[in-house]
Amino acid sequence: MNRKYYSTDITDVEWIILKPLIPAVQPGGRPRFRNMREIINAIFYIQRSGCAWRLVPHEFPPWQTVYYYFRTWRIAGVWEIMLKTIREQVRQALGRATTPSAGIIDAQSIKTTEVGGTERGYDGGKKVKGRKRHLLVDTQEFVLKVKVLAANTADQEGAKQLLQGIQAQFPCLRHLCVDGGYRTTFVSWVKEQLGWSVQRVQHPNAGSRRRITMPGVEPAPIDRSFKVIPRRWVVERTYGWLGRYRRLSKDYAYLPETSEAFIYTTSLRTLLRRLA
C-alpha cells in the first residue's frame, strides 16, 4: 500500500480476518485487477468521514469501482454475511453462543437530505422529517438486523417488517425486549407468530404527565434524574456507536437499502476492531 495511511484503514490482522469473506471471482469472469483491500478501505473511509462517493480521495480506486462493489455486495447480501461471520466470532471470543437467544428492538428517526428517494415521511412525535431505522440487536449491543422505513411508520409496524423471516436467520432467538412504544398488540403478534416471550420496559416516569390530582392537592414532584433502564441501554449504546460515523449522522442515501447496508458495514467495522 504505497500511500498515506488513513485512520479508517484496516490493519494487516483485520485484513487476514476479512479476506476469506471477500466473494471470489465468478467462473468465466475476468480476473480482478483492483486491490480488494483498498476497496474495503475506501468504503470504510466514506462511512467514517461522511464524504460523497465522487469525493473519494484519489489514493483509492476510482469511486465508480468502489460504488460498484458496495452496491453489488449489498444486492447479494454479502455485507450481512460478513457481519454475521464476524459477529459470531466476536461472541465466541466473549464466551457466548454464536447465535443469540435474546434481542432488543428499537427505532430511531433520522433526517434525510435533499437527494430524494423512497420511504420518506414525518415523525410527528420526534418532529423529524425523513426515515426511521428499526434495529434488532443482541444483548452484547451487536446489530442483528436493520430495516429502514419512512419516519411516519409506527414503531410496531416497522418492527413487524423487521422480524419477517427472522426465525430462519436466528433460530435460537426466543426472547424480545421492547420499550413502551410497542403496544400490547405487537406483543401479542410476536407471541402468536413467533412464539417468543416479550418484555416491555418502560421509563420510570412514563405517564407522569398524565397524572391526575385532586383539586387543591399539590402533585408529587417528578424525578427527572437520569436512570439506566434495564436492557434499554444496550440498544441506545448501539446508536451511540453508529452515531460516530458521519455517514450515518443523516440519511444521505436515495434508497433505504443503501442506508441499511451502511449500518451493516459500520457494525462490521466496529466488530472487526474488537476481534483483531
In a domain, 2, yes or no: no
In a domain, 213, yes or no: no
In a domain, 1, yes or no: no
pLDDT at 235: 84
In a domain, 218, yes or no: no
What is the tens place of the pLDDT at every residue in 151-196? Answer: 999 999 999 999 999 999 999 999 999 988 888 899 999 999 999 9
Residue range(s) defining the domain that contains residue 103: 12-25+32-204+227-273
In CATH, what number is assigned to the domain containing residue 47?
3.30.420.10
Whether the predicted pLDDT of 271 surpasses 60: yes
In a domain, 5, yes or no: no
Dihedral sign of CA atoms 40, 256, 240, 17 in order: negative
At 213, the pLDDT band (50, 70, 90 cuts) reads low
What nine digits make up the cell of 44? 470504510
In a domain, 254, yes or no: yes
In a domain, 209, yes or no: no
- For the chain, the domain total comes to 1
Percent of the chain with pLDDT over 70: 88
Q: Where is average pLDDT lowest: 70-74, 150-154, 160-164, 197-201?
A: 197-201
Dihedral sign of CA atoms 188, 263, 137, 207 in order: negative
In a domain, 178, yes or no: yes
**Which helix (H) or strand (E) covers residue 197, if one does?**
strand 197-201
Between CA 70 and CA 79 the distance in angstroms is 9
Q: Is 225 or 176 the better-scoring residue by pLDDT?
A: 176
